[in-house]
Structure 1
Amino acid sequence: ADHGENETPGPTLNRPPLLSARARYQHATSIVSIPEEARGDIDRQQEDNNARPHRRMISRFAQFAARRALVRPSVSRPAVSFFSTEETPVPGFGKGKTSTGIVGLPVDPDAVSKIVVKYQELLDKMAASDMPETAQYRMDLEKIARFRIKIAMENPDDPDLVEDLVQCGQVEELVKQADDEMEVLDMYLSTRMWELVASEDDADDFEV
C-alpha cells in the first residue's frame, strides 16, 4: 500500500542567508549599541576604504615588507652565528673558514705545516735521484719548492698571508699541488724524461 499520503514531512533547517561583509557589519551595529559619533566615524572609514582599495593594498604591502625586514639577515645581523671569538669571523676566511669552496677539498687546519713537509719531500727525492742538477725541470721545481717552504716557515700561524704571498690558491690547494707534483716527479724519474728533453733540444739546435 502507498503510505506516502500519511507521511509527515521531516523538520527543515532554517539556515541564515549568506551575508556580505557590509551586511554583517550593519547587522552587528543594529544589535550592539554604538554611539552615533563612533558609528559615523566607522561608516566614513569603511566608505573611504571601499572608494580607495589601492590604499588597502599599499598598507598590506607595507606591513608585509616590514615583517620581512625584521627577519632578513644582514651583515650586521647574520642569520647564523658561526663561532664565539674575540673578533667576529667572516665565513670563508681566517678563523671563520668553514669551506674551501672546492668540492672534495675540505678545510685543513694543518695545511701550512704540511706545505713544509710535502715540498721538502720533493726536494729530497730529487736530491736522491740521478736527475742532473742542470735539468730544467729540477731547477724549476727546486725554485718553487724552496720558495713555498720559506713562506710557510715564516708564517706558520697566518695561512691567509701564505696564500697572498704564494699567489697560487688556498693553502689546501698548495698541499694538493705538492701531492700532484710528487706523481709527476715519479713519472719523470721512471721514464728519465730529462734525457728525452735533452735529445729534443739537441735536435732543435740543428734545425735550419
Structure 2
Amino acid sequence: MATDNNADQSATEEAEDSLEGAFTGAGASDKGAVFGAWGASAPAGVALTPGPAGAGAAAGEASNDLARLVANLPTQQSITPDDREPYKKPIGFRVSSNVAKRLEKYRKDKDLTVTEVVMLMVDRSVSVMEEMVEYAVQGPKVKTSLFAPQGVAGPPKGTGPEQRQWKPRPQDLQVMEDVVKMSGLSSINVYIAVALNYCLPEKPCKKD
C-alpha cells in the first residue's frame, strides 16, 4: 500500500512539473505556441511572434486611401438621374383663363409640376399636330375670290393673359424648338398654349 501511495504522489508531481514547464521552462518560441493553443494573450514581457513583414504599413496605406476616398465624395448631386444638366431658370408662357384652370386642376389631380404637365401635353400633341394646329389657328372671317380676306385673324386658341412658368433643361428646349418648326407656329410659348388647350382633359375652349 505504501508503494502505491508513493507511486501516485510521484505521478502527480510529474504532471505538475510538466504543466509548469510548459509555461516557465520552455523557450520564447515555445511560449508563443502554448499561448496560441490556449487562446490566451501573452503576459507582460513576453514577445509574441510578429506578423508578416509590411502588414502594418499596408494597413496604414489602406486606411489613408479610404480617408482620401471619403474626402473626395461629392456633397451635392449636380446632374439629373438621366445625366442631363438641370435648367434652373424658369421660362414664362401665357395661356387663356380656361387653359389655366384646366392646367391647375390636372396638375393637382396628378400631383405633377407645371413643367411635367407641359412636357406630357407637348408629347401627346405631336401625334395630333396637324389637326391641332388647324383647330388653333384662326383664319380670316371672310374669304372671296374678288377681295382680300376680310376680318382680323384671331390669336391661336389657347393663348391668353394668364402667365405660367416651366423649367426646361437645355436639351428640352432643343426638342421644343424642333417641334415648333414642324408645327409652323410662331414660338415655343404659343405651341405650349396650343398643346395644353388641345390635349388637356375636357374639351378645348373654342372661344379662346
Taking structure 1 as the reference length, the TM-score comes to 0.29
More strand by share: 2
More helix by share: 1
Higher relative contact order structure (alpha carbons within 8 Å, sequence separation ≥ 6): 2
